[in-house]
Structure 1
Amino acid sequence: MNDHNLIHQSMNVPVIDLSLLLSQDSQEKSLVIKEIHEACQKSGIFHVINHGISQEVIEEALEVNRNFFDLPDIMKKDILEFGSGDPFSPVKFATFKQRAHGSDLLQRDVLRINANPIDEFLDLWPKNPADYREKMGRYTQEVRKLGNQLFEAIMESLNLGGATHLQENFGKGMQLVATNCYNSPHQESPSIKKGTPPHTDFGLITILLQTSPGLEILDSFDGKWKSAPKLEEGSFQVFVGDLLEVLSNGKYKSVMHQVIVPSSTTETRMSIASFHSFDMDDIVEPAINLVEEEGVKRYKDCSAKELLKLVFSRGFARPIEALKIEM
């Protein structure tokens, strides 16, 4: 029996109403900041509602990506050639097959695009469907605004609100958007399951949109895999990434997660993950204030690109372990 068979309950994930961040009532705002602090510290994941992104923008992004994945392979050829062999290509389309849960082979199709600054990358995005650039451009820009708002709140939750250079670097930093398509398990060999193996995300924060169940979270308190609860329509999940664990000097922990599409699922599952960080080459280090507060620096300095190289070259499920400083 593998760990996946032990899943029997849903993870308790906090739901945070972001409209209160804009409240004129300072007490209401401080309560939201506290909720974010507790979520980042205890579970590394939270849901956000009333985030300001319209359902229309969300549905258009999902629709145009469904249309892309439904295209014949010949129409994806330019994307395949453009991203071939280069893991840091600004646009890449690939099918991933990875081992997990012993002998399970997990498969998904991924379209990955760089999205900030959008003017630099937009012409490299897929030309088909014809409205892909328009609709995904709108979506990525709206999610970018949400990411800026969340990062500002997270910095306040760490008492780093005065470190404006961090927010400036985040605002002009990296946004990498990966759309994952998990076709129905019945369409291929029963020995191939649809999913993504256990991993943490490399950046500062990830903003995730998903269409159906399948996301599972490793509960750090009891070490058990638990299913993520069903989301309210139009809501997002926010993940603490490895580089936020570094920046917070370990106060916040990146969350281990995976996707296993249930074998009973007949529909195609999709997710759009927006990864946010500083520029790929910018060095992230534990915040000086937090190091001084604890009297110890827990992590080595690292850039997003260096962290991704650890993922690509050594296959770490949790590459941040390589950055921990021995005490």
Structure 2
Amino acid sequence: MEKLISNFNQVQSLPEKYIFPLEKRPGKLPVPACKFVPIIDIDETAGENRAVIAQKILKASQEFGFFQVINHGVPEDLMKDTMRIFKEFFELPTEDKAIFYVENSRSNKNCKLYPSSIINATEDVHLWRDNLKLNCHPLEKCILDWPEKPTRYRQVVGSYATEVTKLVPRILELICVGLGLESGYFEDKLGEVTSLSVNHYPPCPDPSLALGLTKHCDPNLITILLQDDICGLQIFKDNEWIGVEPVPNAFVVNIGYQLQILSNNKLKSVEHRAVTNSRTTRTSAAFFFNPRDGIMIEPAKALINASNPPVFRAFRYQEFLRSYMTKNGNNDNALEQFKLQA
């Protein structure tokens, strides 16, 4: 438990094991704030508005690999309550968190609290974060292993998981419309929400030398991120890192590798990372949605023709995930093994 950053006692200087190599440091902060990551209102998705919104999502997914959605149907009070519960968990006494603490990433617990030193470590450099990972499917079983403290944790986070799970098919259906695919194309591809990853980034003595999360693309289908009002998420666009400004009551949505493959490269999974700051704790929570077990992943046949041949071969998601994990976050060649030869 002493490895948890949330248990550090006001460290005045950054420990050496958290200092990244020069070429991987975030450097001078802050980076330019990206005011252009599209914010899309999905409240009115009937009739003509549906096609307009679908095109906005398609364009954002092609240009940024990211967008934010508002008026999404998840109650504002529930979002705030959920974020409050997450923050309160990391403020609990050590003995209340100890039962979830693991140092083995292969643990089969449905709720795991990791120190930064065993997740995404790069060249023996540790991330400046603690991570709580909750298995979410099947929800009624997994929730029994979730924290009972703070009070109402299971009730609030369980309700939140249910609401977000309803949101994802709506977003995927709009992507269907934008791509010109038949209605419901993704319905048979989408599995349940598989996991929730809650990241806790305490104030860092020197944010220019450390990272909360290294650059990566998500291997899954789609990710729904809830973040507080502290800047920290950055995406890599036009050869520079730009910050994604938090928008009140919005979700950040990003395209995973599986959507890039299913769209035959029409959509893009974009590198992103998390930086720290020296003043305020930042909290974020990412829901990861994976393809359904057992289905074959391949470019949608409706998007394939003589001028747009398939870029990727067919495979199962578990094959992709094993390959992704062995590459240890190396995004440069994550897709190469699954591409067809020209």
Partner of 1:63: 84
- Alignment match, 1:86: 106
Tell me the number of residue pairs that the alignment of Structure 1 and Structure 2 aligns. Answer: 313
1:18 to 42, 59, 62: 42
Write the distance in 1 (CA, Å) between the matches of 2:125 and 2:295.
37
Distance 1:165 1:33, change over 3 A: closer
Distance apart, 1:281 and its partner CA: 4.5
After TM superposition, give the deviation of residue 282 of structure 1 in Å: 3.5
Q: Does 1:317 align with 2:330?
A: yes
Q: CA deviation at 1:108?
A: 1.3
**Which letter maps to 1:317?**
N
| Rounded Cα–Cα distance in structure 2 between residues aligned with 1:165 and 1:206 | 18
Q: Match for 2:239: what amino acid?
A: G
For structure 1, the 5+ residue unaligned runs are: none
2:242 to 219, 223, 226: 226
**Per-residue CA distance 1:294-321 (angstroms, 9 max, x = gap):** 4422123344433332333221332234
Question: Is this contact kept in 1: 2:165–2:192, CA < 8 A?
Answer: no
Q: Deviations over 1:255-301 (max 9, x none)?
A: 110011133xx221000111112235443221122123644221233
1:28 aligns with 2:28: no
Q: What RMSD, in angstroms, separates the aligned Cα atoms of the two structures?
A: 2.6
What displacement does 1:99 show? 5.5
Residue in structure 2 matched with residue 9 of structure 1 by the alignment:
32
Unaligned runs of 5+ in 2: 1-21
1:128 is matched by which residue type in structure 2? K
Mapped to 2, the partners of 1:44 and 1:91 lie a distance apart of 29
Paired amino acid for 2:106: D
Compared with structure 1, are the counterparts of its residues 127 and 195 closer, same or farther at alpha carbon in structure 2 (3 Å cutoff)? same
Judging changes above 3 Å, is the alpha-carbon distance between structure 1 residues 215 and 104 closer, same or farther for their aligned structure 2 residues? farther
Which structure shows the bigger proportion of residues in helix conformation? 1
Q: CA deviation at 1:190?
A: 7.9
Identity of aligned residues (%): 27
TM-score, with length taken from structure 1: 0.86
Q: Compute the displacement of 1:103 (Å).
A: 9.4
TM-score by length of 2: 0.82
CA shift in 2, pair 1:116/1:157, >3 Å = farther
* Contact 1:105–1:191 (8 Å) recurs in 2: no
The 5-angstrom pairing of residues 33-112 of structure 1 reads 33-80=54-101, 84-86=104-106, 90-97=110-117, 98=120, 105-112=126-133
Q: Pick the aligned partner of 1:272 from 270, 276, 285.
A: 285
Greater CA drift, 291-300 or 110-119: 291-300
Map of 2:227 onto structure 1: 210
SS in 2 for 1:129: coil
Moved more, 198-207 or 107-116: 107-116
Offset at 1:223?
A: 1.6
Of 197-206 and 113-122, more deviation after overlay is shown by 113-122
Matches for 1:93-132 after TM superposition, within 5 Å: 93-97=113-117, 98=120, 105-132=126-153
Where does 1:134-145 land on structure 2 (aligned, <5 Å)? 134-145=155-166
SS of aligned partner of 2:154: helix
Aligned structure 1 segments of 4 or more residues deviating by more than 6 angstroms: 189-192
Distance change >3 Å, CA 31–CA 165, structure 1 → 2: closer
> Contact 1:174/1:277 (CA < 8 Å) preserved in 2?
yes
Q: Is the 8 A contact 2:111 2:132 kept in 1?
A: yes
State the alpha-carbon separation in 1 of the partners of residues 94 and 336 from structure 2. 38
SS at structure 2 position matched to 1:32? helix
Matched, 1:146 2:167: yes
Preserved contact between residue 174 and residue 278 of structure 1 (Cα < 8 Å): no
Amino acid paired to 1:17: D
